[in-house]
Amino acid sequence: MGIKWKKFPLKRHVRTWEEKDMEKEVKNQILQLLATLQEAHDDIGLRIENEEYEKVRGILADCQESAISAGNRIEQFEKNQGEIIRVLEEYCEQLFCINTALVNQEQLNSAAVREKLNQYIIDARRRVKNNIKTLKAVFFPYKASMWASLDSIWRAAQKDVECEAKVVVIPYHTLDSNGKEDEFHYEASLFPPEVPIVHYNQYAIEQERPDIVFIHNPYDGGNSVTRVPKEYYSYRLKMYTKRLVYSPYCLLGYYSPEEGSFLCLTNGAQMADKVLVQSERVKQIYMDHKIDEKRLLALGSPKVDAIVEGMKMPKAYPKGWEQKLGGRKVFLLNTHLSYFVMGFDAKQQRPDNVDFAQWHHEDIFNHLLNKEGCGLIWRPHPLLKAMLKSRNLYSSLEFIEKWEQRIAESENGVLDENGEYATSFHLSDALITTYSTMIAEYMISGKPVCIFEYPLDEENCKNSPVDYRHNYYKERRGEENKLFEFIQMVLDERDPLYEERIKDVHRAFDNLEGTVGENVYEWLKRDS
């Protein structure tokens, strides 16, 4: 029986976009073909034992044809897979050697033949699984402080040997008072060092055609403080992907139909194929604003994963922080983006001409700076100064810069200007804050929160995704300032509202296990 033994290399073929849609199916076909070869090796071993050598040579020829077919399929849709091809070439050489041995009537050990051939195919299957990516996902963050809304999904994707996951940090401009583009920003250097960044000039979505695109910026050109380039607007990204996924950069705590509808009406929420929502309650809010239920994925928020994982980490102080904060009870002061704007606007209407934003901050700083046993981290919203400049609120800007200087000169205060805020979350023992989405995030940590605005009414609290009633308040209408009392409570390690607050947290979030990113990724992969 004559066999014409074929030699590699295989034909080269450039993949087309139409063929890309077949990648997953082709990969499964290749793996199935390689599995069939392993079954054939059992037959080869059995027939060697029975001395059916002509049948063995026929099976060897079939195995070679199948290996060449697998190699050609690999080359058709995935270039640069030389290692897999090399293994298949060596496999074919081994088949040729076995055939030659049979022609020369050499004695063969059936178990050794079977094991040797299996080694090549097992190696080839492993390389196909690991090296041939059938799912492409790209993450388009723009602000490092918002990366937590995507991080755990990216970590799940980059662990998957079948997925090619890329992070492309996109640039943005802050806007001036006329809404014109002002300062240019590119925050790639602020991302965690373990996250490999692809420069935006090196990634062409038109050519890559990723299966899934993730965004956390839903505004396109509708943000009054920042703006990303038009090529990263949601409608354009949607043109080049099978699925656009919007993961909100904030947790939704307080909600009223009058004030919160904009969250559901942003371009990103409207254009996305899937919107990730933190709970069934938030899902209902989106549905109330005519977002199709099929587009809403209520598996929890990836931001919760970041908080849960951060709580497990040992404390690590940024440079210069430990000297000021070590051994103290640390209070994190959070200032919402619009708080100083509201204070300035309200000042014009007040008979005493008091800016309540400045007044509250002055009071908090005076209670905490250089106080024994206390440490202070002030984290103004990363875009606060840009907001004030865009509104020409230079009196507020001067106030902030004055206190930044006083904090720098203090014994126990630091200014948090890091790209991420997980460090401040972790190092602090309590939060003092305006109304902000950060309240909901901090409540997950279990630590006490003091809000320095008046409490919401009971009906609003009940209808909001997160019930704020079991936090502490600096002031209640008709009552005296409770800030000193709150500070002393934290110093004494007391928290009488803890149990009720934790119940509120468990009612507010569908997943507090730190597995949201994994669940989201697996769901999207199954559905892709």
If you average pLDDT over every residue of the chain, what do you get? Answer: 87
Half-sphere exposure of 189 (CA within 13 A, CB side): 2
Helix (H, G, I), strand (E, B) or coil at 229: coil
Contact 377, 417 (CB under 8 A): no
In contact, 479 and 457? CB cutoff 8 Å: no
- Say if residues 155 and 161 touch (Cβ distance below 8 Å): no
Rounded Cα distance between 289 and 265, Å, is 8
Burial class from Cβ neighbours inside 10 Å (0-12, 13-18, 19+) for residue 305 reads: buried
Do the Cβ atoms of 285 and 306 come closer than 8 Å?
Answer: no
What secondary structure does DSSP assign to 33-57, as a single string?
HHHHHHHHHHHHHHHHHTT-HHHHH
Compute the C-alpha angle 259/265/270, nearest 5°.
Answer: 160
Q: How far is CA 29 from the centre of its chain?
A: 32
Q: Which of 455, 421, 462, 456 is nearest to 441 (CA)?
A: 421
Q: Are 285 and 465 in contact (CB under 8 A)?
A: yes
What tokens were used for 457? 């009414």
Strand residues in 168-220 grouped as ranges (E): 172-175, 181-185, 212-215
Burial (0-12, 13-18, 19+ Cβ within 10 Å), 55: middle
pLDDT of residue 396: 87
Altogether, the residues listed in the chain come to a count of 528
Asked if 81 and 131 count as a contact pair (C-beta separation under 8 A), the reply is yes
Element (H, E) at 155: helix 148-159
What residues contact 250, with CB distance under 8 A and at least 6 apart? 149, 303, 437
Sequential pLDDT tens for the chain (528 residues): 344 443 333 333 333 445 455 566 777 788 888 999 999 999 998 999 999 999 999 999 999 999 998 888 877 666 556 788 899 999 999 999 999 999 998 989 999 999 999 999 999 888 887 776 678 999 999 999 899 999 999 999 999 988 999 999 999 998 887 888 888 999 999 999 999 999 999 999 988 889 999 999 999 988 888 999 999 999 999 999 999 999 999 898 888 776 666 778 899 999 999 999 999 999 999 998 889 999 999 999 999 999 998 888 888 899 999 999 999 999 999 988 888 878 777 776 677 777 888 888 999 999 999 899 999 999 988 788 888 888 888 888 898 899 999 999 999 999 998 867 788 989 999 999 988 888 999 999 999 999 988 888 888 787 889 999 999 999 877 678 899 999 999 999 999 999 999 999 999 998 999 999 999 999 999 887
Whether 390 and 224 have beta carbons less than 8 Å apart is answered as yes
Question: How far is the C-alpha of 45 from the C-alpha of 50, rounded, in Å?
Answer: 9
Rounded distance between C-alpha atoms, residue 413 and residue 376, angstroms: 5
> Minimal CA–CA distance to 436: which of 308, 334, 365, 301?
334
Do 138 and 168 meet the contact criterion of CB atoms below 8 Å apart? yes
pLDDT at 21: 52
pLDDT of the residue at 22:
54
Using DSSP's 3-state secondary structure scheme, residue 264 falls into helix
Q: Which amino acid is it at 71?
A: G
Crossing angle for the helix pair 302-312 and 516-527, nearest 10 degrees? 140
> How much is the pLDDT for 14?
34
